[in-house]
Amino acid sequence: MNIHALIQLLVVIEECKQAKNVVAELEQVVRSYKFEFYGLLRQPRPDADPVNLVLAGRWPDKWPLTYLARKYILIDPTIRYLGRAQRPFRWRDAVAALKGDPLRRRMDQMMADARAHGLLDGYIFPIHGRNGLLGNMTIGGNVVDLSPVEISLFDAVAKKAFWRLLELRDEARFLEEVSEIDAKLTRREMEVLNHLAEGMTSMEISRSLKISNHTVDWYMNSIQDKLNAKNRQHIVAIAFRNGLIP
């Protein structure tokens, strides 16, 4: 365990005055845990250039090109699972959770390809904000078993590094601004809205949030009224337009 390094990193990141220093300090601690690769990324927006989503990262040679060329982002099990995760998770746990997915064969192909590039296993730390999922930090390469304490500290580091890099780029303010529409929605309505934007049905949302299907529909009707939307598709369109969904 190198818990002291993680705790110290939380302090150091706050004191860094340049983005390159944040990246250097983060990479040093990640590699001290024997993870060769990592990425700190924003959550994709519609029509966003994937290259602009990366705040920091180090990947195996040719893996990013392979990932994009084969369109793995569309079936990546870690990304698919990230959309419903509230807490950090391991890559292999995401794969196991999606074992019944119709795209499982393509997922297995992607994971085999990743292993061939040296990405044997890793962890993902979701970063949530007022509008739901804002980004994530992933660390991986070798198979490393983190303790629950280390996972919690890496989770804190992910959030601290994400926001510090945005602050140094003067981009944090945009994510923190509250729109007039945003102010009308409750926390639970925002959760339902984000799940709806991910393509989940009322039944799937009810299971994820552990509430009844009837309650989900009640929240959905409330959101529709507040956004003055015609239907659920219109809800998502309005939400994207107003920055409610990252």
pLDDT of residue 212: 93
Task: Kindly compute the dihedral angle of the four CA atoms of residues 205, 211, 213, 219, in this order, to the nearest 10 degrees.
Answer: -80
Tell which phi-psi region holds residue 170, choosing left (phi > 0), alpha (psi between -120 and 50) or beta.
Answer: left
Boundaries of every domain in the chain: 3-174, 179-241
Q: Is the pTM of this model over 0.85?
A: no
- Per-residue confidence (pLDDT) for residue 171, from 0 to 100: 80
Class of domain 179-241 as given by CATH: mainly alpha
Half-sphere exposure of 22 (CA within 13 A, CB side): 25
pLDDT in tens, 133-179: 889 999 999 999 999 999 999 999 999 999 999 999 888 776 655 45
pLDDT tens sequence across 232-246: 988 888 887 766 775
Using one digit for the tens of pLDDT, what is the confidence trace for 8-66? 999 999 999 999 999 999 999 999 999 999 999 988 654 456 667 889 999 999 999 99
Contacts of residue 2, Cβ cutoff 8 Å, sequence gap at least 6:
29, 32, 33
**DSSP assignment string, the chain:** --HHHHHHHHHHHHH--SHHHHHHHHHHHHHHTT--EEEEEEPP-TT--GGGGEEEEE--TTHHHHHHHTTGGGT-HHHHHHTT-SS-EEHHHHHHHTTT-TTHHHHHHHHHHHHHTT--EEEEEEEEETTEEEEEEEEEES-----HHHHHHHHHHHHHHHHHHHHHTT-HHHHH---HHHHHS-HHHHHHHHHHHTT--HHHHHHHHT--HHHHHHHHHHHHHHHT-SSHHHHHHHHHHTTS--
pLDDT of residue 144: 96
**Distance in angstroms (rounded) separating the CA atoms of residues 108 and 111:** 5
- Look at residues 183, 12, 23, 219 and name the one whose alpha carbon lies nearest to residue 4: 12
Choose which CATH entry (3.30.70.360, 3.30.450.80, 3.40.190.10, 3.40.80.10) describes domain 3-174.
3.30.450.80
